[in-house]
Amino acid sequence: MTTQDTLIHAEGLSLHYGKKLALDQLNFSIAKGRVVGLLGHNGAGKTSLMKAMVGLHDHEGRLDVLGLQPQRDRVKLLNEVTYIPDVAILPRWATVEQLIELMTGLHLKFSAERARTLLKRTSVKTTDKIKTLSRGMVVQTHLALIAAVDARLMILDEPTLGLDVLSRKAFYEMLIDEWCDGERSVLISTHQVEEIEGLLSDVMMLNEGKLVLDIPLDQIDDRFVALKHDPQAAEAIAAAHPILRYRQQGESAALFDGAPPAHVASLGQRMRPSLVDLFVALTRAPEINPQR
C-alpha cells in the first residue's frame, strides 16, 4: 500500500543480469524523512537496486518510487528523484556556473539560487572549471547541485568513495543541514559503516542479492544483544548460538539475534551492538566464514 508518507515500496523485487540473479525477492518500504543506509559487500546488489529505483534497469516484481513505476515513468521520476551514481562524472570542460545553467534547463525543480547558496559552504567558486577541482570538491559540487533540486528522494551510490576525512565530514554536514527536514529521504550506499552510523535512521543490508536486514536504528538495541564476556564463559556463550563471536578491545564478545537465555546473558556485560558488528555477522562471505 503506497501512501503519501511512503516514498519507495518494493514487493518480490528481483533483478537479473542475463542469467545472474542480482536481487532476490526484496520486500521493503522507505518512508519520508528517513536517512537509509544501504550496506553490502561489492557485488551484493546495491548498485543494481539503485539503478532499478531510477529506471535504469528492468526488474521483476513490484517497485513503486514516489507512486511511479521507474522504467515506465522515468522522465517524470527524474524530476522528483535526484541520483548520484557510483561512477558519477561531471563534465570536465564546464565551469560550475555553466553546470548551474545546464541544471536549470534540465530540471524543473532545480533552484539556481539554492545551488549558489549551498556552494558558499564549500571552497568551490562558480567560476571554477570542474577539471581544476580536487576529487572532494567535485563531489561537494555535485551534491550541492543535486541538493538544489526540490526532490523528495535523493539516491546516492557510494558518494564518499575515495574522499578524505575532511571532505566526508563536509558531505555529512551538508546532508544533515540541507536535506534532513522530515519530508525528504535519502538512500545512501557506503562502505564507511562506522562513520555513517550516527547519520542513519534506518539500515538495509544486502548479502548476495538478498535483504538480510531492514531495520530502523532505534530498534537494533531491542532486537540484537551484544555481550562482552570473560574467556571462561566462552563455551556457554557459544552453546546459545550467537550470530557472531568476535573480539572487542581485547575482550571476547558475542552478538545474538534476539535475547539469549537469562543464564547466558548474565555471564557477560551488555553492550550496544554496533552496525559494523551486525554487518560482519549478517554478510560474511561464505568462503571465509562458513554459515553454521
Partner 1 sequence: MPTWDDRQPIYRQLADRLSGALLDGEPPEGEPMPSVRALAAQYMLNPLTVGRALQALADDGLLDNRRGLGLFVRQGARERLLALERQRFLEQEWPMLRTKLRRLGLQMDELTWEA
Q: Give the binding site for partner 1 (CB under 8 A).
A: 35, 169, 172-173, 176-177, 180, 182, 195, 197-201, 217-218, 221, 226, 248, 271-272, 274
Cβ-contact 194, 276 below 8 angstroms: yes
Rg (CA), the chain: 21
Sign of the C-alpha dihedral computed for residues 139, 141, 144 and 145 taken in this order: negative
Nearer to partner 1, 13 or 255 (CB): 255
Nearer to partner 1, 31 or 94 (CB): 31
Nearer to partner 1, 12 or 198 (CB): 198
Nearer to partner 1, 55 or 273 (CB): 273
Nearer to partner 1, 115 or 226 (CB): 226
CB of 206 to partner 1, least distance (A): 21
Residue position matching grid coordinates 519507495: 8
Nearer to partner 1, 195 or 208 (CB): 195
CB of 181 to partner 1, least distance (A): 9
Nearer to partner 1, 9 or 184 (CB): 184
CB of 198 to partner 1, least distance (A): 5
Nearer to partner 1, 31 or 90 (CB): 31
CB of 175 to partner 1, least distance (A): 10
Question: Do β-strands 210-216 and 202-207 pair in parallel, antiparallel, or remain unpaired?
Answer: antiparallel
CB of 13 to partner 1, least distance (A): 26
CB of 68 to partner 1, least distance (A): 27
CB of 94 to partner 1, least distance (A): 30
CB of 54 to partner 1, least distance (A): 24
| Contacts of residue 112, Cβ cutoff 8 Å, sequence gap at least 6 | 100, 101, 103, 104, 148
